Amino acid sequence: MTYLGVTDNYMLQSECSNDVDAACRLVARHFGGARGTWAYEAFDYINATLFAGELPTPLIVWTITPHGKCLGQTRRGAAPVVTLHPSLLGGREKVNPWGIDPALLGVAMPMTC
């Protein structure tokens, strides 16, 4: 059994980058719908604006993150993955048991899950 190291995986991805890019976007559109498409539009803008288009295309998925409190996470490497929590787009706010305006609580007291 041959193990592909990180360098080999990166070379494999760069050789097939158009296929990887198309596959990632297809999966995102199929499973994420409009938010999947939007995530790649945002990635393309950030990549072009801040990184001169040098970032490899990650697989961007919308799913519950570990412990349900993290809004997103990344896994770097030859096959990067960006995980985004669905609450980033709203609609999953917890009931505020204290009756305090969430704007007054700041980032230290997140009201989303």
Per-residue pLDDT of 38-49, as tens digits, reads 999 999 999 999
CA distance 16 to 33: 25
For the entire predicted model, the pTM comes to 0.64
State pLDDT tens for residues 50-85. Answer: 999 998 899 999 988 877 667 888 888 778 999 988
